[in-house]
Structure 1
């Protein structure tokens, strides 16, 4: 078993450093090894959506937790970098799920609030952090609020920003080092969140065609940008495009590299 406390400290330092932490989410051992071997990669994060899809399950805690944890454990064992797990909403027991993830070598994780009452969401955050302390590590919790992803299309964006700030501050006060606000891509909303939560406290997801470049997010004080299910979709897009080309009478791309 690797030195979990050291890996947790490394992951914490990567979130607080002046340079933004860029995480290309992975979903199995081969994707983890390819990403980990890429220049500039300093940590890994799993994507629950992508792991579920790998086994034929829909996102949203439909994949059995044992199967999910087994894949995450395989990823941890295959790389030398700190690994953060997407724990979804904690499978009904965030503290226990975090404990089991830590047993497999995970040192950080996402936890969705799914817009449950704030007191309950804060209690879930506290349970995960307590599981880390019980294991002797400072678990790097990326406390996620679903304010934007659950909002209707016609919702008042200013009110959503205010609610994300309210919930995010509560998670920070409970001890979470960073707050994840998926669904935010507009510069002015990111600025408002980063200013209210503090420098290197906000994490966002990169969305194709809509998100700001990582270097600009860094300038705005964002701590971390991840890719969620989109990296798997990049891989699947390349697979489908290559398949269509060869089925149509062509050849595989000349740019294909031996990565496994």
Structure 2
């Protein structure tokens, strides 16, 4: 399947009646295992990829290494690949455009793109983030690639008090609508697990909504009923893998 056809197919997988489930991986070996298990698409996780290669999260892993890993994944499995692009590894629009072009050249057909100031305080203003999303869209169009831009808001991850989440929903909806006009393809609300609030967002946002599931909660059927079109797992699969590896070592070392 060509890269463009993979991009179109990936977009078509976002359906609330049957949400796309993405089990985030961090290397080509993991992608191969997930593909053989029947995954329709592959997603990387920034924290997982960073830690697995000896770095901390937050764009500490070099972009060159990220692109090498993505290229290896794309050469290993014949599935759409979406990459956790964090903040685009750039502080200016020209750098963001260049990095987007490089990522597309590596074979990716989708990205997660967050609105927090990576390793800084707070979020980009709506206007600033819209400029950044538009820059990515323009770079993708220049490459003739219908890149799936999953616009992530960090409103909920940045708020430690769950009781305040309901007060953030209106801003989340405002951001989603603005991001859509700027060229976003989807809207990602990691940290939000209250199904009633998730449903409010889904009902007021035209983009496919993505949530991050922690463990098995909320359940897929419940999220589907609320309007969610995509479910991802963040760093959970890596931590489960690490725990399993540790347990296997402990069980085997004295045999």
TM over 0.5: yes
Structure 2 partner of 1:35: 34
Q: Deviations over 1:112-160 (max 9, x none)?
A: 1101111111111111111211111211010001001112427622221
Structure 2 unaligned regions, length at least 5: 117-122
Report if aligned partners of 1:25, 1:44 keep a CA contact under 8 Å in 2: yes
Structure 2 partner of 1:107: 109
CA distance change for structure 1 residues 177 and 154 in 2, over 3 Å: closer, same or farther? closer
Q: Does 1:202 align with 2:209?
A: yes
Structure 2 partner of 1:94: 96
Instruction: Tell me the secondary structure at the aligned position of residue 163 of structure 1.
Output: helix
Structure 2 partner of 1:72: 70
**Deviation of 1:17 (Å):** 6.7
Q: Output the CA distance in 2 between the equivalents of 1:127 and 1:43.
A: 25
Deviates more, 1:240-249 or 1:11-20: 240-249
Structure 2 partner of 1:158: 166
After superposition, where does 1:4-153 map in structure 2 within 5 Å?
A: 4-16=3-15, 18-39=17-38, 41-92=39-90, 93-114=95-116, 115-153=123-161
Instruction: Tell me the secondary structure at the aligned position of residue 15 of structure 1.
Output: coil
Instruction: Tell me the secondary structure at the aligned position of residue 53 of structure 1.
Output: helix
Q: Output the CA distance in 2 between the equivalents of 1:17 and 1:195.
A: 11
Q: Deviations over 1:62-118 (max 9, x none)?
A: 111111111111111110000001100001133222211100110100001101111
Instruction: Tell me the secondary structure at the aligned position of residue 57 of structure 2.
Output: coil
Report if aligned partners of 2:202, 2:226 keep a CA contact under 8 Å in 1: yes
CA distance change for structure 1 residues 18 and 131 in 2, over 3 Å: closer, same or farther? farther
**Deviation of 1:248 (Å):** 5.8
Q: Does 1:230 align with 2:236?
A: yes
**Deviation of 1:208 (Å):** 2.1
Q: Does 1:168 align with 2:176?
A: yes
Given the two structures, how large is their TM-score scaled by the length of structure 1? 0.89
**Deviation of 1:236 (Å):** 1.0
Q: Output the CA distance in 2 between the equivalents of 1:63 and 1:29.
A: 17
Q: Output the CA distance in 1 between the equivalents of 2:134 and 2:198.
A: 26
Write out the 4+ residue segments of structure 1 that deviate beyond 6 Å after TM superposition.
Answer: none
Cα RMSD, aligned residues only: 1.6
How many aligned residue pairs are there? 245
Q: Output the CA distance in 2 between the equivalents of 1:197 and 1:42.
A: 25
